[in-house]
């Protein structure tokens, strides 16, 4: 984690970018978080956090929010750079059968535990981006780099009540 994980008590929406900036396309969630943290036009009540590669450590962070939007590299079975939007219901079903996030040992398990503990946010949205290359010290692929603007716009659309497909 490169950013301290804290929440603002008045914020209702959390945008949580997860991943490792040292692992090629796995950096996509962190890059989205950094891009949104640099903006000054986010609506009030929105926090943006770089969740790094935390798993269970994210539970106390997400439980403070009513809506959480997670952005991460994910095996979505589409060409590299493709973006898929999931709800918690979609992830919960998929997580039992396949790995969704590249942090399956952490993020998926953490969300499942948060649900069991009753601290899962009321609304959980997941933006997964199909990686092309995830390797130590690899650069961001061209496909995922090209997807970044659309991904950021999709997340911003969520804040304005416009869900991307």
Taking a C-beta distance cutoff of 8 angstroms, is the pair 6, 57 a contact? no
- The reported pTM is 0.84
pLDDT tens by residue, the chain, 165 residues: 444 455 555 569 999 999 999 999 999 999 999 999 999 989 989 999 999 888 888 888 899 899 999 999 998 899 999 999 999 888 775 555 445 555 545 777 788 888 888 888 999 999 999 999 999 999 999 999 999 999 999 999 998 875 444
How many whole angstroms separate alpha carbon 61 and alpha carbon 135?
28
Beta strand pairing call for 123-129 and 83-87: antiparallel
* Alpha helices by DSSP H, the chain: 28-37, 59-62, 88-97, 107-117, 142-159
């Amino acid at each position: 984690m490169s950013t301290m994980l804290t929440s603002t008590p008045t914020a209702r929406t959390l945008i949580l970018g997860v991943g490792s900036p040292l692992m090629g396309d796995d950096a996509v969630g962190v890059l989205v978080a950094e891009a949104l943290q640099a903006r000054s036009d986010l609506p009030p009540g929105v926090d943006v956090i770089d969740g790094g590669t935390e798993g269970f450590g994210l539970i106390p962070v997400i439980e403070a929010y009513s809506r959480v939007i997670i952005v991460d590299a994910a095996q979505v079975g589409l060409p590299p750079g493709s973006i898929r939007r999931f709800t918690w219901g979609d992830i919960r079903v998929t997580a039992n059968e396949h790995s969704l996030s590249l942090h399956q040992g952490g993020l998926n398990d953490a969300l499942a535990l948060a649900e069991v503990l009753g601290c899962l946010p009321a609304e959980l949205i997941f933006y997964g981006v199909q990686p092309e290359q995830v390797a130590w010290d690899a650069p961001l692929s061209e496909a995922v780099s090209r997807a970044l603007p659309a991904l950021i716009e999709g997340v911003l659309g969520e804040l304005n009540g416009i869900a991307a497909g």
